[in-house]
């Protein structure tokens, strides 16, 4: 099923999944990084790549599939190393299917550079495109849904009832899901590097701001 979603590279994706011993990547119970996340990112990758030049779409398909193949919870101190660990695991999988070394290296770099927390600069078209696509899936309506889903998983509160929008307290998105918008999500689009992603990013940030305006009316203390 997942391999078909990565058309026209379904055969390659099926081979990668077989080498990994799975029909689709494990998401360790995290519905914010499951197969539907991979499909959304792949759709964004294709849309962004259509406006760029020089990117290897098959490398991007495989990098998209494997970019979260090692998952570390957001509350785990090892979180910043997750993309490097995923790149290492992906390289091993791709060696087993006989991919050329240059394409393995390109895939690994795209994977390790996609992460916000890793702080690794993308140096190739594939790395820029994957990073932009993954960040776009963290914002907009789907970003709102994922934020509150993750907050529930890790036991965060939705917001601080006394000061929902942190007017007189430090932001703390580990305690309050709503703080994550100002801490990170509203600013993610500032780092997008491709023209198509910047256009989509503007729209998604606007939708988050509209949501926050309505939420402010509903929850702010009178």
Query: Which pLDDT score, from 0 to 100, does residue 147 have?
Result: 96
Smallest Cα–Cα separation from 83: which of 96, 72, 99? 72
> Per residue in 13-62, pLDDT tens?
999 999 988 655 555 677 777 889 999 999 999 999 999 989 999 999 99
Instruction: Name the CATH topology of 139-221.
Output: Hypothetical protein af1432 (1.10.3210)
DSSP string, 8-19: T-HHHHHHHHHH
Q: Is 212 helix (H, G, I), strand (E, B) or coil?
A: helix
Length of the chain: 222
Query: Which pLDDT score, from 0 to 100, does residue 116 have?
Result: 74
pLDDT of residue 207 exceeding 90:
yes
Neighbours of 168 (CB within 10 A): 7
| Residue 28 Ramachandran class (φ > 0 left, ψ -120 to 50 alpha, else beta) | left
- 176 forms beta bridges with 157
- Give the residue, 26 or 208, on which the prediction is more confident: 208
85/67 Cα distance (integer angstroms) = 10
Query: Which pLDDT score, from 0 to 100, does residue 23 have?
Result: 53
Here the tokens at position 172 are 């703390």
The reported pTM is 0.91
What average pLDDT score do residues 65-85 get?
Answer: 77
Query: Which pLDDT score, from 0 to 100, does residue 149 have?
Result: 94
Query: Which pLDDT score, from 0 to 100, does residue 81 have?
Result: 73
Half-sphere exposure of 193 (CA within 13 A, CB side): 18
Query: Which pLDDT score, from 0 to 100, does residue 169 have?
Result: 98
Q: State yes or no: cis peptide before 8, omega within 30 of 0.
A: yes
Query: Which long-range contacts (C-beta less than 8 Å, at least 24 apart) are formed by 112-119?
Result: 112/83, 112/84, 112/86, 112/87, 113/83, 114/63, 114/67, 114/83, 115/80, 115/82, 115/83, 116/184, 116/188, 117/79, 117/80, 117/82, 117/83, 118/80, 118/81, 118/82, 118/83, 118/84, 119/80
- Angstrom CA distances, 7 to 35, 46, 132, stand at 15, 11, 20
> Per residue in 139-197, pLDDT tens?
999 999 999 999 998 899 999 999 999 999 999 999 999 999 999 999 999 999 999 99
The segment(s) of the chain belonging to CATH 1.10.3210.50 are: 139-221
Q: If pLDDT is split at 50, 70 and 90, which confidence band does 115 have?
A: confident
């Amino acid at each position: 099923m997942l391999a078909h979603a990565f058309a026209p590279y379904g055969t390659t994706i099926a081979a990668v999944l077989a080498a990994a011993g799975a029909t689709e990547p494990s998401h360790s119970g995290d519905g914010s990084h499951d197969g539907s996340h991979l499909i959304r990112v792949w759709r964004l990758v294709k849309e962004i790549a259509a406006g760029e030049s020089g990117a290897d779409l098959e490398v991007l398909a495989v990098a998209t599939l494997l970019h979260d193949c090692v998952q570390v919870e957001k509350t785990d101190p090892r979180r910043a190393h997750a993309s490097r660990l995923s790149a290492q695991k992906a390289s091993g999988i791709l060696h087993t299917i006989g991919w050329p070394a240059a394409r393995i290296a390109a895939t690994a770099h795209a994977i390790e550079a996609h992460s916000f927390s890793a702080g690794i600069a993308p140096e190739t078209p594939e790395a820029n495109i994957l990073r932009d696509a993954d960040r776009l899936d963290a914002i907009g309506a789907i970003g709102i849904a994922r934020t509150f889903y993750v907050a529930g998983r890790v036991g965060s509160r939705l917001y601080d009832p006394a000061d929902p929008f942190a007017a007189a307290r430090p932001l703390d998105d580990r305690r309050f899901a709503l703080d994550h918008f100002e801490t990170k999500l509203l600013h993610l689009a500032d780092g997008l590097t491709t023209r198509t992603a910047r256009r989509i990013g503007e729209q998604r940030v606007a939708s988050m701001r509209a949501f926050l305006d309505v939420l402010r009316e509903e929850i702010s203390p009178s």
